[in-house]
Each structure stands twice: as C-alpha cells, then as structure tokens.
Amino acid sequence: FNLIPAILFSPPPRQENVDPQKTAFLLRKAWTLYSVTPLYGFRRGRLRDYARLLSAFIAAEKQKGLAVEVGVELDIKVALSSLAELRGSELDQAALLVQLSSRSRASSRSSEDKPVWLGWFCSVFGEDLSENVPEAFTCLPLFLTHGAESYTSLVGRWFQKTFDCCFRRLAISPMNLSWMVAMWAGCKLDRAASAVELVFSMPRLSQPLDISYAIHPEDAKALWDTVQKTPGEITQEEVDVFMDCLYAHFHRHFKIHLSAAKLVKVSTAVASAHCDGIVKILHSQYLPGVLMLLTELAISQIQ
Amino acid sequence: HLATSLPLPSERDHLRPRIDLVVFMIDIKSKYSLKNVETSLAHVDASFFLGKVCFLVTGVGRVNACSIETNAVCKLGEAYCSPVLHCELELEGVRAATAQRLLRMLQICAGHIPGFSALSFVSLLRNSDDD
C-alpha cells in the first residue's frame, strides 16, 4: 500500500508526442478508481463481440427489474475501443475504453446518442504486474469510471463474469496523498496555477470538521525546490520534510497539529485526489505521470 | 499510569512508584503521534532501553488510513533496541490479547518471574525476529 519506500522515483514525465486531442476527454472529469486483477481470455480483436454481449447483458438486467432509470424508455448502446496512446511503454497493454450511451426509442439516429457512462482500463508502466503473469492474462490494473454507480456495477459484473477478474475500490492513504501533493506541487507549469489545497478531517469529534489549507502555488513549488535534493528522484524523507514544513507553518499560526488529523484530499493545478479513490486530472502534460502513480497504487492493492 | 508526553511533571516525582515498563503508543493514522514519541524518547533514561521499553502501534488494521510508514516504526524499534507490538484497538479480541501480552511483559520487567529478566526477554524477542 506504500509507494516506493524511500528510493528513486522520477517526477511525472512530460510526454510531448501524445496527441492531446485524443486524451482531452480524460481531463477535468472526476474519475472513481478501482484496481482490477488480470483479465483471463481477453482478445483485443473481439471488441465488437464484447460490446454486443455487454449490451445484451445490460438489457437482460433491465428486464429483470434492475432498471437504472425508471419510467424512461432508453436503450443502452455499448461501445468498446482501444486507445493505444494511453500506455507507458510497449510493455503495457493499450487502454480499453467502455462507453455507454443512451438512445431514446423515439429516435434511431446515432447522432442522438447521449453518453451516460464512461469507463476505461489502463496500465501505465505496470510491468511489475504483467511480467509475473501467464500468457493468457491481460494486465490492465487501473479502472476509472465516470457516471452512475449503477452502470459501473453492471459493467463490473459483466467483466467479472466474462474474464474472471476482480474489482476493488482503490482507496488512497494519507501517506500516498502526501506523495501526490509534494510531487504535483513541484511540477513546472507554463501558466498561472491554482492554489495547492490540502483538506484534513479532524478525528474523534461529535460533529465532523474539515480544515482546508490553501497555499499559493509558487510558495509550494519554492518549498519543494528547497527540499528536493536530486532532480528526477523523490524520497520518503523529502516528502516528510515538505509536509512537516506545512504542518509547522500551520501550527505557528493556528496552534493546531494537522499531523494528528487525517489528510483526505489534495488539490493542485496538475491533479486532485480524494482518499476515497476519486481523482481529477487537470493538466494534459502530466497525464502519463499521474496515471503511472495510480497504476502503481492499483498494482500494490492487487498484490 | 498514562501520559500524553514525556517528561512527566516533576512535582509528583516523590509520590510516583517505581516505573518498570514504558509503552510508547503510536497511532498509524497520526504523524503527530510519531513525532510526539520521538521527542519523548529523549527524556527516558538509557537504562530503560535494556528491555523496559516497548512500542505499541495502533490502527494497523486500516491500511488505507496510514499516515506513517511502517518501516519508520520498525527502524525506531531497532534504533532503541526495543520490541514493536501491533494492535487494532477497535477489535476487542486483539485488545484483550495485547493487554495480556503487555501484562506479561510487565511482570517480567518488574522481576516477578523467576529466572527471567527484562533483558533476557528482549533478547529472546530479537532473536526470534531475526529468524
């Protein structure tokens, strides 16, 4: 559940050769994260068959009374596609996209399809998992969804049934959130960035109390630059020093020990992440880096 | 006797009974608790580290609420030659078992178990860890 313990870790790589148009749909959406065990018997060439089967499964479940929307006559159309751009290296599988759109029965033109749910499987530098797995398995350990939970459940159940895999919500510990905020606050950005925000939940109170600690992005980056000793490497000690500085500063002003509270959410101009496993990626340049981190978290949850 | 940090207030020194065992509690969800323990350790006389100190890490059942690296606590235990126990306070069974373990350790440290000193007990624990 930890990120790499105190050794080399490169900061998010900047990828100039990925067409930003193809991945623009990933940005600025809140994605719910899951870890997925390797898929058995998945064939990249059978995507259209799978789409048909999943479509039939969803229709059948609706018939059984597990209707997602009551009183509205909607057909759910399923589309599966591959996105070769979304991967870390040639060793990774290309990302797999699942799109659910609704078409009102009244109209049969495909231009009237309304996207209702989007999910995608990916692996960015996930060799740690794929190198230890037999041939028949496809490794795509990270699953991200956007849309109603009921659809996520339907899609998840079909994949579990068909490929004998297992989905688990990916929770992000305060320690991992600290790594994220330290790394992302230190990223070089071309335009003016939004504030770096940390949200803490105070423990053991009768009324829930959240503390939001916002820092000017330039101050945060300046702090990280003084802490990080070797560009291209991040250690646990450096993350600890960074966080301790933030805690000390807060304590000096408010006499509250944030280190005794639970860090639940971090937000930077690069991305934001919540401990319940919800992320939003805001900057296309650092998309591969963020996905690499999340892939790693997913893999450690599986193992 | 419970204290939130060390040193203990000097006003009550003359009323205090002999201290046989010091258990430092670290909550894995609170970075602050680790820092607190680290500063308190400086106030403990060196003779205590011959088997009369142990670390108790709580909240270990919640992997997703970790604010402290488990490695950091293990290193602390090694640095101070003292055992590290793990406990999930919310589970009654684990709580009771841990309490019994601590009581047993206390009996040894207080010299109530013939043939067993605090130091020999701690070396036993260390040897079994290395195995």
Shared domain for A244 and A223, answered yes or no, is: yes
* Cβ contact, residue pair B67, A263, below 8 Å: yes
Cα A98 to Cα B78: distance, rounded to the nearest angstrom: 50
The pTM assigned to this predicted structure is 0.84
- Model confidence at A70, in pLDDT bands (50, 70, 90)? low
List the domain boundaries for chain B.
17-128
**Arithmetic mean of pLDDT over chain A:** 86
CA nearest A128: which of A4, A13, A40?
Answer: A4
The residue-averaged pLDDT of B84-94 equals 88
Shared domain for A153 and A192, answered yes or no, is: no
Closest Cβ opposite residue A259 in set B32, B63, B66: B32
For residue A24, what are the contacts with CB-CB under 8 A and spacing of at least 6?
A284
A5–chain B Cβ distance below 8 A for any pair: yes
| A145 found inside a domain | yes
Amino acid at B103: L
Shared domain for A51 and A147, answered yes or no, is: yes
**Is the pLDDT reported for residue A12 higher than 60?**
no
Amino acid at A215: I
pLDDT tens digits for range A149-166 = 999 999 999 999 999 999
pLDDT of residue A89: 84
**Is the pLDDT reported for residue B131 higher than 80?**
no
pLDDT of residue A206: 86
**Is the pLDDT reported for residue A8 higher than 50?**
no
pLDDT tens digits for range B13-40 = 778 888 899 999 999 999 999 999 999 9
**Arithmetic mean of pLDDT over chain B:** 87
Cβ count near A148 (within 10 Å): 14
Cα A250 to Cα A244: distance, rounded to the nearest angstrom: 10
CA dihedral B91, B94, B99, B100 (to 10 degrees): 150
Shared domain for A163 and A207, answered yes or no, is: no
Shared domain for A65 and A165, answered yes or no, is: yes
Task: Give CA separation, A142 vs A33, A122, A164, A196, A302, in Å.
Answer: 7, 5, 16, 26, 10
Shared domain for A102 and A210, answered yes or no, is: no
**Is the pLDDT reported for residue A69 higher than 60?**
no
Shared domain for A34 and A80, answered yes or no, is: yes
pLDDT of residue A227: 93
Among candidate residues A169, A202, A217, the one where a domain is terminated = A169
pLDDT of residue A241: 95
**Is the pLDDT reported for residue A34 higher than 80?**
yes
Cα B25 to Cα B44: distance, rounded to the nearest angstrom: 15
Shared domain for A196 and A70, answered yes or no, is: no
Shared domain for A38 and A149, answered yes or no, is: yes
Shared domain for A126 and A178, answered yes or no, is: no
Q: Domain residues for A110?
A: 16-169
**Is the pLDDT reported for residue A67 higher than 70?**
no
Amino acid at B112: H
Shared domain for A264 and A190, answered yes or no, is: yes
pLDDT tens digits for range A129-142 = 888 888 899 999 99
Residues β-bridged to residue A102: A76, A114
Shared domain for A34 and A163, answered yes or no, is: yes
Closest Cβ opposite residue A173 in set B30, B33, B63: B63
This model of the complex carries an ipTM of: 0.75
Q: Which residue matches tokens 């109530």? A: B112
| A2 found inside a domain | no
More confident residue, B116 or B109: B109
- Model confidence at A196, in pLDDT bands (50, 70, 90)? very high
* Cβ contact, residue pair B66, A1, below 8 Å: yes
Task: Give CA separation, A82 vs A87, A122, A199, in Å.
Answer: 11, 10, 36
A34–chain B Cβ distance below 8 A for any pair: no
Do A125 and A92 form a contact (C-beta atoms < 8 A)? yes
* B17-128 to CATH, choices 3.40.50.300, 2.40.50.140, 3.10.580.10, 1.10.3470.10: 3.40.50.300
Sort out which chain A residues have CB atoms less than 8 A from B70's CB and list them. Answer: 2
Looking at the structure of chain A, the number of domains it has is 2
| A157 found inside a domain | yes
| A112 found inside a domain | yes
pLDDT of residue A207: 87
pLDDT tens digits for range A87-114 = 888 888 999 999 999 876 666 665 678 8
